[in-house]
Structure 1
Amino acid sequence: MKKLVPIFVFLLLLSSLMQAQPEVSTRLLNAMRNSNPEDYIRVLVYLQDQVDILSLDAKLYRENASLERRAYEVITALQNKANSTQPDMIAYFENNLENRSIFKYESFWVANMFMVECKSSIIKNLMNRSDVGLMDLDAFLELDRPVDIRPAETLVGSEPGLKIINANKLWALGITGQGQIVLDIDTGVDPTHPALNYKYRGNHVPSSQAWFDPAGTTTPSDCDGHGTHTMGTMTGRSAAGDTVGVAPDAEWIAAKTICTSPHTANSIAAFQWSMSPDGNPNTIDDMPAAISNSWYDPNTTNECSGIYKTTLDAVEAAGIAVVFSAGNSGSGASTITKPKNINTDEVNIWATGAISGASYLGGSTNPIASFSSRGPSLCGGTGSLLIKPEASAPGVGVRSSYPGGGYTTMDGTSMASPHVAGAVALLKSFAPNLTGKQIKMALYNTAKDLGTPGEDNTYGMGLIDVYAAFISLGTPDNTPPDPITDLSVIDPTSNSLTLSWTVPFDSSMNGVTGFDIRMSNAPISDSATFYAAAEIPFTGQVDTAGAIETITIFGLGFSSTYHFAIRAKDVWTNWSNISNPASGATYGAPQVSVTPTSLHRVLMNNQTYIDTLHIGNVSVNNSTLDYSITLDNNTFPTNSIKVKIVPNYVADQDAIVGTKDKPSETGGLSIEGSGGPDLFGYEWIDSDEPNGPAYVWEDISTTGTLANTWTPTGTYDPKDEGYAGPLPLGFDFKFYGATQNQVYVSSNGPLLFSAPAANIFTNAQIPSATAPNGLISAFWDDLDGRTQGTVHYKQDGNKFIVQFTAWQKYSATGSLTFQYVLYSSGKVMIYYKEMNATLTSATVGIENLTGTDGLQVAYNAAYVKNNLALKFSADPDWLASNSTGGMLMNGTSADVLLTFNAEDYPAGNYGIDVIFTSNDPLTTTVTVPVTMEIVAIPVELTSFTAVA
C-alpha cells in the first residue's frame, strides 16, 4: 500500500497541473506566431481566483442593501481579492521590467487581471502558471459606427424621439434627471458645446472625477464627434431650449477610449474608474446612474464567460446600469455585436435595437431599422435570456450635438443606446434608491410591444416607454410579498414534475415580479436547506395576485422523490418568506414496444400505399413514454414518404363518465409538432415546428363584444355548464365540407356548430360518436367562468375571433387565456397566451359533425403551453415533416401510418429506416427497416409484409 502513495500523489499533481492550464485565445496565439521574439505584445492576463460577484450581488438584493452598502461591499470585495492574489504576479512583472522582457503592465480589480505588454517568452511562461485562468490579446475595439451622418439645424423645442419614449411626460412632472450622472465610454465629448458645456461635472469637481483619458489629458475633447452626439442624446439642452437629451438636467462625465489605439484594457479601466471616480468606496454621489456604450470587439471568442462578463457583472453589481448599442450588422439572426450577447439576467448587458421614429409616428407597427442587429444571443440560455436585444429606442434620423457647437443627424443603434441610458438617469431622479438593474427592469417590463407580438429577437420587449416605467415603479417600499402557502406538485411523468402555486399579494404597483424556486433530493425545512438547494430558473411572465402559476421541471430521474420550496419577490427586490415545502415523485421507467420489426413491399409505379407500425408503452407501472420518430438512410425519392401518428383509444368513450367533483382519469397521449391528415384531409402544425405558424396575439378583450348571455345545459350555473350563442361568423365557413355561418361557445372551452344538449364537463377523445360533435377544441376540460374571466368575440373581415380571458378551471382555480381565429378560407388558428393551470386533463383537436372523423392533438397529456400557436387546415400550406413524436402513458399506444407514393419511379429497390427514439432507459432506440421493390410489370399486390 505504501508504494502506491507516491504514484497517487504524482497522478494527483499531474491532474491538478492539467486542470490549471489557462485558456489562451486564438487571436493571441496568432499574434505570437506572427511576431518576432523581440516584439512586444499587449496581453490581458485574467487570474483564476475571482470574486463570486453574482453570489454577492444576490446576497445584497436578498438583504435589501442600501446603494451605499452595495457599492462599498462590491468595490472592497474586488479590491481585497486583487490585493491578496496579485503580489506574486506583480513581483514577477517587476523583475522582468528590468531586463526589458516586459515593457509595461497595469493591474485591475474590477476583474482580477492584468494588462501586460511583453515579449513572447513572458507569454509562454504565463501559460504555465497555475494562477492564470485566461489569456487574451489586448485587442482593438471598434465603434458601432453610424450608417449615415448628415448636417442638422439648431432648433427650439425637443426632438421627436424624446417624445416617442414619453420623456416629456416626466419633464412635465418636474423629473428631468436632476441629481444624476451619465457616463459615455466613447470617443470623448466637446465640453464647449452649448447643449453640454454647463452640465460637465468637472466644472465643480476635480477633472480626475469627471474625465478619463488613457492618454492622460485633463480636459475633455472628442476625436471623432460620435461621443458628443451620443452624450447629447443623454443630457443635451441648450440655454435657448433646444432639447436633444432625455435627461436634460443630468450631469455628464466621459471616458475617451475609442480613439487611436482603442485597446480593450482602456475600456476595462474606464469601467473600473466609473465604479469610484473619486477613489472612495464609501461615496456614491460620484458614480454614474448609467453608462452608454456604442462599441464592440469584433474578434473576441469568450464573451460569454471571460473578461467582459466578469467586468460588466461587477459594474452592474455596484448598482450602475450598463447599456449598449445592439450593433448595425443588419437583419440576420444572431448579428448582435460582441460582447452584447452576454445574458447574466434579463437586463444585464442591455443591448438596444433601433427603430425609425418617423415610421413609428406614421403609424407603422414594424418600424425596426433595417441595420439594427438581431438576436438570439450567442451565449445560449432559455426564454428571455436567449432573446436579444433587450428593447429598442429611436435610432434613425436622431439629431444631436456635434463638435464645434452645431448639430448633426445620425442613423445607428449608437443613437438608440443613449436614449436608454438617459431614461435610466431620468427614472433614477425619481427613484434614487434603486439600482441600475431595477430601473432597467422597469423599462424592460413596460416597453411597448412592436412587430411580432411578445418579446422577440428584433425589438426585444419593444419600444421603451419612460412614463410607463415611471408608473410601474410607484412608491418604493420594504414590504415583501405575502408568503406562498399552497405550493404543490402535480402532473408527474417519468422525467418531469409540475409545481403549482397561487401568486401571492404584494402592495407594490406591479405586485410580485419573480420567484426563487429551489429543488433538492432532501427535505427543505429552513433557510439553510433552501439556499443549499438547486435553483430552478423561472422565465415566464408572473400572473396577477390570486392566479395559479405553474412551472414544469424536466430532466428528472425515474421513480425519484424531489423536494421543493419557493419565494416571491416584488419590483423592489423584497423577498417573501419561504413557502410551505412540497414534494413529489416521478413515475417509473416506461417500456417501449414497436411492432413489426421490419416491413417489406413489392409494388408497381403510380400507386400510393399505406401500412402501419405500432408503438406502445407496455410497462405495467405508472410511466410516460416520450418518443420521437425520424426517417433516416432514405433512398426513396424526395417527398415520397409521409409519417402520420394516429392515437389509439385508451378506453370506451361511452364508459368515461365521472362527475364534476370526481372526474374520470384515463391514460393520456399527445403528439408533438404536427399531425394528420384525418380522413377528410385536415392536418395540423404548431409554432414549435420550423414551418409552423407564428404566434400572434391580437387582444380583443377591449375591442370585442362581451359574451354576457349564457344558456345552461343542466342545473349548474350557465358559465360553469352552458354556452353562449349562436354567434354569427359574418361569412360562410367550410368545416368538413359543410357550410357553417354561426358558432356556439361552450363554457368548457370548445367551439361548437350546434348547441350542446347536455353538460360536457368530461372531455373525450377525438373522434367519438358520443356528443358533442362538430367541434373545435383549443382546451376542452371542466372549466368554470363563474367567479373570474370573460369571453369576447369579434367579426373582423375575413376572420372571426373568440377569446377566453383569465377563464378558470372548476372550481375557481387557475387562469386560462386563449383564442380561436376562424378564417373564411376554412383555416383555424388557436393561440395560447397565458395558460396557468393544470394542463394535462384536456382535449385538443377538431371533429366532424357526426363524430366519425377528427384530428386529435392531445388528450389528458402535456401539450398546451404559453405563447403557442396551433393551425388546422384541410389545404395545408406547409411541408410534411420527416420527424414527429409524442407521449404515451403506460397501457396506451399509437399507430404510425407510413404513406408511400410510388409515382413513376424507376424499377428497383428502395429503403428507409424508421427510427424510434424514446426515454425507455433499456431501449432508447428502435430501428425498423422498411424496404420497397418497384417492378416494371404488374404483380399480385398485397399489404406490406412483416419480416420475422
Structure 2
Amino acid sequence: MTLRCHRLFSAALATMLAGGALAGALLTAPAAVADAWRDKEYWLKESGITNAWQVSKGAGVKVAIIDSGIDGNHPDLKGVVVGGTDVSGAGAPNGQKSIGAKTEHGTLVATMLAGRGHTTPTASPSPSASPTVPPAGGPDGIIGVAPEAEILAVSTWLGSPNPGGKTDQEQIPDAVRWAVDNGAKVINISLGSTSPVWPQSWDAAFLYAEQKDVVIVAAAGNRVGGNVQVGAPATIPGVLTVAGLDGDGRASVDSSSQGISIGVAAPAEDLLGGLPGGGYAQWAGTSGSAPIVSGVAALIRSKWPDMSAKQVINRIVSTAKDAGAPGKDPLYGYGVLNAEAALKDEVETTSTNPLGSIADWIRVHRRGDFSTPSEAPVASPTSAAPTLADPTVPVAATPAHVDDALPAAVVLGFGGIFAVIVVGAFIQLRRVAKNPSTAGEEAETGTLEAVDPPTRK
C-alpha cells in the first residue's frame, strides 16, 4: 500500500471515529435511579438474550474490547475487567484510562457486553456505623449480554492526533495480537473506517487470530457518519460484521451501513450504556450492535468451550431470522440476531467460516505462500505468555519463469498486426476521400443512417 493510501486510510478511520459511527447520538444522564435504565434494555428480550441465559451467561470466557479504554471502576463493571493493555502509547498500562476522540466509547461498549449491574448502597441505620458495601452485580444499572464473561481492556487512541505517536495502522494489529496472546476467545472491534480496504500490515494480525481460533466481531459503521458502505476492519474475510436495526427491527437508516461482508443485524438505536465516572447514556450506532453479538458469541463459547470459532459464527448466522431480500443480503446479512436459537437450536456442524477466511484471501490477493513461514512479527507487550505456537505468516510467492524467446515472439507478433491495421486504415481513408458518399455518420453524434421505410403489402 502506498504512502498516499496509508494517509487516506488513516483519514477515513478518523472520519468514522469523529463522525458518529462510534458514539452515535449520545444523551448523558447521572447515575441516579439506575434501575430505570435497566428497564429500557429492550434488546435483551427482543433479541432472545434473556431466554438464552437459561443455557449460558458467558462464564469462563474472556472478551477483548479494542476501543478507547474502559473505566473498570464503573459500578456495573466491578470485577469484570480482568486484564488489559494500551497500544497507543498514551493510555494507562492496564487499558483502563479513557482516551482518544470518544473517551466514553469503550465503557459504553463494555457495559453493554458484560455489565453486571449493581446494588445501590443502603444507608447505615447508625450514623457511627460504616455504610453497607454491596456485592458486585445487582438489580440496578446496566446488565450486559454476557454478564458472567470477563473483559480485557485494550485501549487505542483513534479519531484525533495521538500524543503517543503511534498511528491507527500500528495500533489495530498490535491490539489484535495482544488480545489473542492473552486468552481472548472473542474480540470486539466497534471501530472502523470509511474505506473498505485495509493496510497490508493488518493481514498477519487477523491471520494470527484466525489460526488461534478467535472470534472477531466488528461494527459495520453508520450512514450518519458518512459510511454508506461497510469499511475496514469489518470487510476483512472471516470477521463477523454486524449491521444495525431501528426500533421497529428494520435496517437503520442512520445507524447502519450496507455491504456484502455483513453477517448479522442487531439493535442499533435507543441503546443504553455506562459512562466513565459512573454515569449512563442513551446512544446509537452499530458500535452498540457489535457488543450485543459479541456477547452472544461469549455465551456460545461458554456453553461449548471446544467449539471452533468457525462453528460459533456459523451458529449465530444460521439461526438468524431472515429479513429483507430472501437469503443473505447487504442490509441484514443472514438475518436478525436470534440469541435463543443460537444457544438452543440444533445446528449442522461446518468446517468452514460462512464469512470467509483471511488465509484464503491472502493466498489469492497477496499471493501469499504458507508453505514456508517467515519470521513472526515482533510480539506486542503482554502480561501473559502465549500458550499456542506461532502461526504461519504469508510469504510472497516467487514469480513464475517464462522462456526468454516467448516475450520477443509476442512483441513481434503484435507489432506485425499493428502495422497491417495502420496500412489498411490509410487505404480506407484515401478511398473515402475520393468518394465521400461511402462515408457513414459520425459515431459520436448518435445519429442513425437513413433507412427506406418498409413497403406495405
Please state how far the C-alpha of 1:514 moved relative to its aligned partner.
Answer: 7.2
Identify the residue that residue 271 of structure 1 maps to in structure 2.
176
Distance 1:388 1:191, change over 3 A: same
Give, as a single letter, the amino acid of the residue that structure 2 aligns with 1:370: D
Tell me, yes or no, if structure 1 residue 212 matches structure 2 residue 86: yes
Q: For the residues of structure 2 that align with 1:186 and 1:321, how far apart are their CA atoms?
A: 17
Kindly provide the CA deviation profile for residues 542-591 of structure 1, in whole angstroms up to 9, marking residues without a partner as x.
Answer: xxxxxxxxxxxxxxxxxxxxxxxxxxxxxxxxxxxxxxxxxxxxxxxxxx
Tell me, yes or no, if structure 1 residue 244 matches structure 2 residue 143: yes
Of 70, 73, 84 in structure 2, the residue corresponding to residue 189 of structure 1 is 70
Give, as a single letter, the amino acid of the residue that structure 2 aligns with 1:150: L
Matches within 5 A, 1:120-519: 141=14, 142-143=16-17, 144-152=21-29, 154-155=34-35, 157=38, 159-173=41-55, 175-202=56-83, 210-215=84-89, 217-219=92-94, 220-223=96-99, 224-238=103-117, 239-241=137-139, 242-259=141-158, 261=162, 263-277=168-182, 287-298=183-194, 302-303=197-198, 306-329=200-223, 335-343=229-237, 348-356=238-246, 358-360=247-249, 366-375=250-259, 387-472=260-345, 474=346, 509-510=347-348
Q: Which runs of 4+ in 1 moved over 4 A?
A: 136-142, 330-334, 511-516, 633-636
Matches within 5 A, 1:364-763: 366-375=250-259, 387-472=260-345, 474=346, 509-510=347-348
Indicate if the aligned counterparts of 1:369 and 1:395 stay in contact, CA closer than 8 A.
no
Identify the residue that residue 879 of structure 1 maps to in structure 2.
none
TM-score when normalising by structure 1 = 0.32
Indicate if the aligned counterparts of 2:48 and 2:338 stay in contact, CA closer than 8 A.
yes
Q: For the residues of structure 2 that align with 1:221 and 1:256, how far apart are their CA atoms?
A: 8
Please state how far the C-alpha of 1:331 moved relative to its aligned partner.
Answer: 11
Please state how far the C-alpha of 1:311 moved relative to its aligned partner.
Answer: 2.4
Distance 1:213 1:334, change over 3 A: closer
Please state how far the C-alpha of 1:459 moved relative to its aligned partner.
Answer: 0.9
Give, as a single letter, the amino acid of the residue that structure 2 aligns with 1:232: T
Q: For the residues of structure 2 that align with 1:240 and 1:222, how far apart are their CA atoms?
A: 25
Greater share of helix: 2
Q: Which has the higher contact order (CA 8 A, sep 6+)?
A: 2
Distance 1:634 1:446, change over 3 A: farther
Please state how far the C-alpha of 1:243 moved relative to its aligned partner.
Answer: 4.0
3-state SS in 1 of match to 2:111 = helix
Identify the residue that residue 941 of structure 1 maps to in structure 2.
455
Distance 1:169 1:318, change over 3 A: same
Distance 1:333 1:251, change over 3 A: closer
3-state SS in 2 of match to 1:434 = coil
TM-score when normalising by structure 2 = 0.65
Kindly provide the CA deviation profile for residues 474-519 of structure 1, in whole angstroms up to 9, marking residues without a partner as x.
Answer: 5xxxxxxxxxxxxxxxxxxxxxxxxxxxxxxxxxx52678799xxx
Q: For the residues of structure 2 that align with 1:138 and 1:313, how far apart are their CA atoms?
A: 25
Percent identical among aligned pairs is: 25
Indicate if the aligned counterparts of 1:325 and 1:417 stay in contact, CA closer than 8 A.
yes
Please state how far the C-alpha of 1:388 moved relative to its aligned partner.
Answer: 3.0
Kindly provide the CA deviation profile for residues 798-845 of structure 1, in whole angstroms up to 9, marking residues without a partner as x.
Answer: xxxxxxxxxxxxxxxxxxxxxxxxxxxxxxxxxxxxxxxxxxxxxxxx
3-state SS in 1 of match to 2:283 = strand
Matches within 5 A, 1:860-871: none
Gaps of 5+ in 1: 1-22, 32-135, 203-209, 278-286, 361-365, 376-386, 475-508, 517-534, 536-632, 637-908, 912-930, 935-939, 944-948
Give, as a single letter, the amino acid of the residue that structure 1 aligns with 2:255: F
Please state how far the C-alpha of 1:194 moved relative to its aligned partner.
Answer: 0.8
Q: For the residues of structure 2 that align with 1:290 and 1:392, how far apart are their CA atoms?
A: 18
Please state how far the C-alpha of 1:145 moved relative to its aligned partner.
Answer: 2.6
Indicate if the aligned counterparts of 2:220 and 2:262 stay in contact, CA closer than 8 A.
yes
Distance 1:231 1:289, change over 3 A: same
Indicate if the aligned counterparts of 1:331 and 1:373 stay in contact, CA closer than 8 A.
no
Kindly provide the CA deviation profile for residues 78-125 of structure 1, in whole angstroms up to 9, marking residues without a partner as x.
Answer: xxxxxxxxxxxxxxxxxxxxxxxxxxxxxxxxxxxxxxxxxxxxxxxx
Indicate if the aligned counterparts of 2:49 and 2:340 stay in contact, CA closer than 8 A.
yes
Indicate if the aligned counterparts of 1:450 and 1:463 stay in contact, CA closer than 8 A.
yes
Indicate if the aligned counterparts of 2:65 and 2:110 stay in contact, CA closer than 8 A.
yes
Indicate if the aligned counterparts of 1:319 and 1:435 stay in contact, CA closer than 8 A.
yes
Kindly provide the CA deviation profile for residues 605-630 of structure 1, in whole angstroms up to 9, marking residues without a partner as x.
Answer: xxxxxxxxxxxxxxxxxxxxxxxxxx
Indicate if the aligned counterparts of 2:244 and 2:286 stay in contact, CA closer than 8 A.
yes
Distance 1:512 1:233, change over 3 A: closer
Give, as a single letter, the amino acid of the residue that structure 1 aligns with 2:64: L
Indicate if the aligned counterparts of 1:368 and 1:459 stay in contact, CA closer than 8 A.
no
Give, as a single letter, the amino acid of the residue that structure 2 aligns with 1:932: V
Please state how far the C-alpha of 1:227 moved relative to its aligned partner.
Answer: 0.4
Distance 1:199 1:331, change over 3 A: closer
3-state SS in 2 of match to 1:932 = coil
Give, as a single letter, the amino acid of the residue that structure 1 aligns with 2:348: N
Q: For the residues of structure 2 that align with 1:515 and 1:150, how far apart are their CA atoms?
A: 38
Gaps of 5+ in 2: 118-136, 355-362, 364-442
3-state SS in 2 of match to 1:198 = coil
Q: For the residues of structure 2 that align with 1:254 and 1:218, how far apart are their CA atoms?
A: 10
Distance 1:258 1:438, change over 3 A: farther
Distance 1:230 1:333, change over 3 A: closer
Distance 1:933 1:342, change over 3 A: farther
3-state SS in 2 of match to 1:201 = strand
Kindly provide the CA deviation profile for residues 13-64 of structure 1, in whole angstroms up to 9, marking residues without a partner as x.
Answer: xxxxxxxxxx534245x89xxxxxxxxxxxxxxxxxxxxxxxxxxxxxxxxx
Indicate if the aligned counterparts of 1:244 and 1:399 stay in contact, CA closer than 8 A.
no
Tell me, yes or no, if structure 1 residue 932 matches structure 2 residue 427: no
Distance 1:369 1:427, change over 3 A: farther
Kindly provide the CA deviation profile for residues 412-446 of structure 1, in whole angstroms up to 9, marking residues without a partner as x.
Answer: 01010111111111111101112223211110111
Kindly provide the CA deviation profile for residues 271-310 of structure 1, in whole angstroms up to 9, marking residues without a partner as x.
Answer: 1111212xxxxxxxxx11211112224468x42x823344
Q: For the residues of structure 2 that align with 1:932 and 1:332, how far apart are their CA atoms?
A: 52
Indicate if the aligned counterparts of 2:194 and 2:229 stay in contact, CA closer than 8 A.
no
Distance 1:192 1:512, change over 3 A: closer
Kindly provide the CA deviation profile for residues 735-782 of structure 1, in whole angstroms up to 9, marking residues without a partner as x.
Answer: xxxxxxxxxxxxxxxxxxxxxxxxxxxxxxxxxxxxxxxxxxxxxxxx
Distance 1:409 1:513, change over 3 A: same
Indicate if the aligned counterparts of 1:25 and 1:137 stay in contact, CA closer than 8 A.
no
3-state SS in 1 of match to 2:184 = coil
Give, as a single letter, the amino acid of the residue that structure 1 aligns with 2:242: T
Please state how far the C-alpha of 1:254 moved relative to its aligned partner.
Answer: 0.9
Indicate if the aligned counterparts of 2:221 and 2:227 stay in contact, CA closer than 8 A.
no
Tell me, yes or no, if structure 1 residue 24 matches structure 2 residue 8: no
Identify the residue that residue 686 of structure 1 maps to in structure 2.
none
Indicate if the aligned counterparts of 1:392 and 1:459 stay in contact, CA closer than 8 A.
yes
State how many pairs are aligned. Answer: 331
Q: Which moved more, 1:252-261 or 1:187-196?
A: 252-261
Please state how far the C-alpha of 1:469 moved relative to its aligned partner.
Answer: 1.3
Please state how far the C-alpha of 1:256 moved relative to its aligned partner.
Answer: 0.8
3-state SS in 2 of match to 1:335 = coil
Q: For the residues of structure 2 that align with 1:511 and 1:294, how far apart are their CA atoms?
A: 28
Indicate if the aligned counterparts of 2:152 and 2:179 stay in contact, CA closer than 8 A.
no
Please state how far the C-alpha of 1:324 moved relative to its aligned partner.
Answer: 0.8
